[in-house]
Structure formats: structure tokens, C-alpha cells
Structure 1
Amino acid sequence: MKSVNAVKMLGAFALVFLLSSVTEGRIISKCELKEQLETTQIQVIRAMGDKMTVNDLNARLVCLAGTTGFNTSFVTNIPAKLKEPLNIHSIKPNTTQRPVWHLYGVFQLSDQLACDSGMNPSINVCNTTCSAFTDDDITNDIACLNTIISSIKPRPKNNITLPLVTLSTILLKECHFVVPSQYFVDCPSASTPSRGTI
């Protein structure tokens, strides 16, 4: 009788494990991420500069993902800077408690801009919950990143807008000088995407 109960418990444990592993994140390889970005064909925009190519953009995005260890379930909590409210619709921070921003997934998408965490006011341009960016499927992460990048417009002089703050986040200084041919030297080559600029 005890062995039957033990088998049932093991079966239940295995089912719980299988169900939880479906929604958990994973460590994605640099080459797999590169391949998925190439398949999506995110377009370079004018705000990124005339010399930026699709290969450069993909290398910078993969470099950005490298800061998370290529972990699709990575979440970062950042205390917001009191002097820099994100937008006019945000709750004004008070002096007793600093709001905390949350960044989700391999591309560190913000709960102030990209998704709804239920913890902060959000523009939610990708119309999704932030937990969608912490599972093992990064297609929605890439689609959201594409939405954000395609919404970026060149800024007028001396006027900082929300999308360009996002652009500076996407194009990390540490990743600015990444050379695609060297950065992806271990990855199998695929067809080189065209330069496409919006």
C-alpha cells in the first residue's frame, strides 16, 4: 500500500515539475538569439544613426542580453531616480518612498514602458503582462522589442522623449563597439540581412 502511495506521489511530483518547467525560463545561447533576431528582421531606424546596420543592431541586442547571462527569466529591480520621472502619467514619487522599476527577461524590458507588472503605472506598449517575458519562449520578447524600436522617432534638439530614453537603454555603452563578425565568430553563418532603414 505504501508503494502505491509513493508511486502516486512521485507521479504527482513529476506532473508538477513538468507543468512548472513549461513556464520557467532558460539560458539561451548567443547564437540561437542571433538567429531569432535575424529571422525577425528588426529594422534599423534613423534615430540610431546612418552607419548602423542590421548586423550592428543585432550584435548590440545580443550583447544587451549577455548582461543577463542570456537568462530568459532574469528580473532586475531598480530604484527610480527621483529627479527623472519617466513620463507625465507616472505617479509622482514622494520623498518617503522611492518607486522601484522592474526589468524583465533577456532584453530587460521595463514595466514602465513595455509591459504591465501590476506594480507600477505602465504605458504597456506591448499590451502584455511582464511575466510573458520571463518564460522560455523569447518570440514575444523580440516582438515587443521590435514594437519599441519601430516606435522610436528622431528627437528635436534639446527635447528628450521617452522613446529615446529607451533607445539609450537598448544601445548600452558597453555594447556600442561590438563588432558583429568578431562577436558572432563561433556562430554558424546565415544569410546576411539587408540594411533596411526606416
Structure 2
Amino acid sequence: MTRLLLLALLTCLTSRVMGKIFGRCELAQMLKEAGLDGYRGYSLANWVCLAFYESHFNTGLVDHEADGSTSNGIFQINSHLWCDDLMHPSPNLCEVHCSDLLTSSLNDDITCAMRIVQTPRGMGTWMAWRNNCEGLDLSHWLKGCEL
């Protein structure tokens, strides 16, 4: 038990040190460079909207869910299916450790998000996207950004 508590504390401290809160346009540029604009039919504005409502552009965010899983990083990728948190067995469909989603580098987050939107639910996998972005005019998410 003490070991688990120490691991959880260390993970939280590490994520705060390594995480980053992106600016809206800075994030949009990075996501565009990574090829997300139009990926699986989703505009760049959809990805920016998703990141805002999931994490407020914070790569270091960890949300502890009622089922014991965690949602991690800028897209709040859940440990139940998508990443390994070392505490609960999971399919780890993105083949990544959850702590890798908490750094200022978005490579693992983007790769995993691309895998998630390949599922039949697409971006609908994220409730925050369904409730705040789906079917809406999202042009304001990119307004003023030099893309």
C-alpha cells in the first residue's frame, strides 16, 4: 500500500514538472503540423475544441475517475482501455504508459488520439467533444491564429 501511494505521489509530482499549458494558437499549430487537420474527417478546430474542454490545454492534467481509472493529458486519455497506469490491468490499446501522456511533448497523445478516432465512435468517444463541439460552428477556435 505504501509503495502504491509513493508511486501515485511521484507520478503527480512528475506530471506537474513535465506538463505544459499550451496557448490556443500554439496548440493549433502543433496539431496541424502533426497532421490532425482533416484526419478522419475532423477539422483542426474540432481537435482544439476537444483539447480545451478535456484539459484546458493542460498536458499534465490527471483526472481520477470513480471506477479507479485515470484520464490523462491534453486529450484526457483513459487508462481503462488506452494506456497503462501500472496499477490496474488494461488492454493498453495505444501501447503507451499513461505518464507519457503528461509531458509537454504531444507525440504520444496525438498518436493515441489518432488511434481512438479510428474506432467506430470517432471523436464521439469523448463526451466533452459530444457535449461542447459536435455539430457546432468551431471557427472561433482558430480565429487569429496564423496557420
Q: Secondary structure at the match of 2:91?
A: coil
Match of 1:78 among 42, 54, 65: 65
Please report the TM-score for the alignment, with normalisation by the length of structure 2. Answer: 0.76
Structure number with greater CO (CA < 8 Å, separation at least 6) is 1
Q: Is the 8 A contact 1:59 1:179 kept in 2?
A: no
Q: Is the 8 A contact 1:64 1:172 kept in 2?
A: no
Letter in 2 for 1:59: A
Identity %: 28
Deviation at 1:179, TM superposition (A): 2.3
- The alignment status of 1:182 with 2:140, answered yes or no, reads yes
Match of 2:30 among 24, 32, 36: 36
Residues 48-93 of structure 1 show CA distances to partners (whole Å, capped at 9, x for unaligned) of: xxxxx432xx32221221132211100001113xxxxxxxxxxxxx
Please report the TM-score for the alignment, with normalisation by the length of structure 1. Answer: 0.58
Match of 2:52 among 48, 66, 88: 66
Gaps of at least 5 residues in structure 1 are: 1-19, 45-52, 81-99, 154-163, 191-198
- Report the Cα distance in structure 2 between the residues aligned to 1:182 and 1:69, rounded to whole angstroms: 15
Deviation at 1:177, TM superposition (A): 4.2
The RMSD of aligned alpha carbons is 2.4
Larger Rg, first or second structure (1 or 2): 1
Q: Flag the structure with higher helix content.
A: 2
Q: How many residues align?
A: 130
Question: Residue 88 of structure 2 corresponds to which residue in structure 1?
Answer: 120
- Report the Cα distance in structure 2 between the residues aligned to 1:166 and 1:184, rounded to whole angstroms: 19
Question: Residue 103 of structure 2 corresponds to which residue in structure 1?
Answer: 135
- Report the Cα distance in structure 1 between the residues aligned to 2:72 and 2:29, rounded to whole angstroms: 21
- The alignment status of 1:169 with 2:137, answered yes or no, reads no
Question: Residue 72 of structure 2 corresponds to which residue in structure 1?
Answer: 104
- Cα 1:130–1:30, aligned 2, differ >3 Å: closer, same or farther? same
Letter in 1 for 2:58: N
Deviation at 1:178, TM superposition (A): 4.0
- Report the Cα distance in structure 2 between the residues aligned to 1:139 and 1:179, rounded to whole angstroms: 27
